[in-house]
Amino acid sequence: MRPANELGVAETADAICSGVLRSVDVVQACLDRIAAREDQVGAWVHLDARSAMEVARQRDRESPRGLLHGVPLAVKDIIDTVDMPTACGSPIYANRRPASDAACVALVKRAGAVILGKTVTTEFAYFALGRTANPQRVSHTPGGSSSGSAAAVADRMVMGAFGTQTAASLTRPASFCGVVGYKPSFADFCLAGIKGLAESFDTLGTITRNVVDARWLRQVLVDENRHPGTIDGVRAPKIGVCRTPWWHCADVDTQNAIEQTARRLSMAGASVHDVELPEGFLNLAERHATIMAYEAARSLAYEYDVHRAQLSEPLVRLIEDGQATNRRQYLNARDEAKQACLQFGAWMKSCDVVLAPSAKGEAPQGLGATGDPLFSRMWTLLRVPSITIPGMVGKTGLPVGVQLIGALGDDERLLEWAQWCETIISADTSCPGKLQHPVRSGPLLGSNR
């Protein structure tokens, strides 16, 4: 068996349930990895090793509580935790102690998870990057806003983590760090206890090292402890390759990743064809930005009015852009978004999933910015589920993910097909664009737990 900190969520849960591993061994392996790497990566804003070990010892004394029994997880620092500070990446809320856990934290605890700590977020989940570096190359950004969650999972510090997305905050860091970022259908996961930025788009999601683990975490959040099952018998999907209206903005690395992925999946039996989005979708990224700014100006009204000096310049600009947007502009943008959602639902009938870019290319050098959210703005506005899958590398050897998008509310099937696609990508080692160390898919998924 691989070192305990390198196992996935499902593998760890099965190993603990079967008695192969103890939770304390897994937690200690994660803490050892953090001790060895945190100075370089900077993924954590709060780590409570003592409490985590106490909870792990308790899990080892108990009968299994649920699917996540004894599994260490991390929580993005805009998500409330009753026993750890939640500062939202801002000095305004330094050392703030919430009165209760966010709903997602309470649910994974009920299923037996061990919360290891809080991961770095950009300020209020916007653009101002914290201290986190990309573990694949620490001179490059991990992306944001779920920067610490993506970095911690990618660096094998923890099995899985919560993140959120309002524009591209799951898909982009997942692509940059070489992990799986899953954004469910809008409103599929409860947001109680999570600091909001734009209520039309804010979505809780997960960062894991494989699709199986995203399915396990989803199951706990929507259906408590029913086992998600295997993908045995899942047919090869119909895949629409969508280069989007911004294909010319994508680096060669991203364009190659899409083309190579499409070829591999076609050779494996998928029905792959090019698709063109409905007319008028070119404006959706701009409409997303308009709605996001308007709503952020309202959701952060207190922080702007009372603590403006403690806000970063990028966030102040966003809020002031939102203040300058009149109500009619906002409502027109929302109306266009609603019409686009209806159009997209009908348009998706031609394919099971859409294959599209996750980001412009490899993670940019430097830690001063999180990268461009362009390639996820539209999908976030459409409120559809999406998942970033790793498997390719760019010209300098950094990860380049691809994004799969499903129909609204069709998350389970999207994840099944994403797992099928991941298996194909990970199995093909002949292509020069392949990652050197593909993630594993959790061979114990089919056990009867």
Give domain status of residue 265, yes or no: yes
In the block, which residue shows the tokens 């603590």?
307
* pTM, rounded to two decimals: 0.94
Give domain status of residue 381, yes or no: yes
198 closest CA partner among 297, 92, 287:
297
10 class by beta-carbon count within 10 Å (0-12 exposed, 13-18 middle, 19+ buried): buried
Give domain status of residue 437, yes or no: no
Residues 261, 410, single domain; the answer is: yes
Residue pair 269/236 in contact by the 8 Å Cβ criterion? yes
The last residue of one of the domains, among 344, 368, 399, is 344
Q: What is the rounded CA–CA span in Å between residue 195 and residue 62?
A: 33
Residues 231, 328, single domain; the answer is: no
Give domain status of residue 442, yes or no: no
Residues 114, 124, single domain; the answer is: yes
Residues 330, 239, single domain; the answer is: no
Give domain status of residue 259, yes or no: yes
Residues 180, 329, single domain; the answer is: no
Give domain status of residue 329, yes or no: yes
Q: What is the pLDDT of residue 446?
A: 28
Residues 335, 352, single domain; the answer is: no
Residues 326, 418, single domain; the answer is: no
Residues 268, 317, single domain; the answer is: no
Give domain status of residue 256, yes or no: yes
Give 116's Cβ-side CA count (13 Å radius): 32
Q: What is the pLDDT of residue 427?
A: 63
Containing domain of residue 313, as a range? 281-344
Q: What is the DSSP letter of 434?
A: B
State the virtual CA torsion across 50, 55, 60, 61 in degrees, nearest 10. Answer: 110
> What CATH number should be reported for the domain holding residue 189?
3.90.1300.10
Residues 352, 336, single domain; the answer is: no
Residues 36, 26, single domain; the answer is: yes
Residues 289, 263, single domain; the answer is: no
Give domain status of residue 253, yes or no: yes
Number of domains in the chain: 2
Residues 37, 152, single domain; the answer is: yes
Q: What is the rounded CA–CA span in Å between residue 133 and residue 151?
A: 7
Per-residue pLDDT of the chain (449 residues; tens, 9 = 90+): 689 999 999 999 999 999 999 999 999 999 999 999 999 999 999 999 999 999 999 999 999 999 999 999 999 999 999 999 999 999 999 999 999 999 999 999 999 999 999 999 999 999 987 899 999 999 999 999 999 999 999 999 999 999 999 999 999 999 999 999 999 999 999 999 999 999 999 999 999 999 999 999 999 999 876 788 888 888 999 999 999 999 999 999 999 999 999 999 999 999 999 999 998 899 999 999 999 999 999 999 999 999 999 999 999 999 999 999 999 999 999 999 999 999 999 999 999 999 999 999 999 999 989 999 999 999 999 999 999 999 899 999 999 999 999 999 999 999 999 999 999 987 643 343 444 333 333 332 223 22
